[in-house]
Structure 1
Amino acid sequence: MNFIATPRLPRALLHPLKVYERTFVRDGPGGQSRPVEKAVKTFKGIVLPLSDKDLKNLPEGTYTQNAQKLYTDDRVEIGTNQIIEDTFDGQRYTVKTVLGHNSIHPMVRYIVEGVVKK
């Protein structure tokens, strides 16, 4: 039995999010390569704006106006360049960086880049 309570993100703030795996297929011999996406996982999280501290300390040293931070405490493996879709509003994000939190809290943070809606 696990008697240690771990902190959790407030459930009321979290949205269902989907992770898409992107692969490329070629249309025939010598044809153009095109992306194919397949939903592989669903988890709960929230996307929030970057803070001034985040903007100052980004490992890449750059950011755009579409950069945001995704929080989750679900046990889900998400890699860089994977596509995340917020099922609440249909907004899509590309994962840019995985940020740690600490060894006690199960929360994981990601820097994501919003994909402009068409």
Structure 2
Amino acid sequence: MAVSAHASKVRSLYKRILVLHRFLPIDLRALGDQYVKDEFRRHKGAAPEEATGFMTEWKDYKDTLQTQVLESAEEQTGSVKFGANLSEGKLGSFQHDQIGQLYELMLESTKSTRQFDIQEDSK
């Protein structure tokens, strides 16, 4: 029973993050959706102690993004920036492969030319 409760929490968090991504600019949404899908898939069989940390970090991400989406809706100026700076302490606790992954994500998110031609759905 505990396993299915955990799986339900993971699924709920995953779906909520993807819903929040709908409010991001289209290029960030595509990048974010793919990253979330890859990370959740990669940690599907994680050990319980790793899963706890994983869920905590993604809940923090969801809370931060939710706050930023609400601020964006209130401002309606398009000047709201999404994301947050990492503290030196948190950055120092990353493993080498996580630093590399973070660097690749930074490069991808700051590219001046897009890898894909993503367009909004016309309504």
TM-score between the two structures when normalised by the length of structure 2: 0.19
Whichever structure has more helix as a proportion of its residues is 2
TM-score between the two structures when normalised by the length of structure 1: 0.20
Whichever structure has more strand as a proportion of its residues is 1
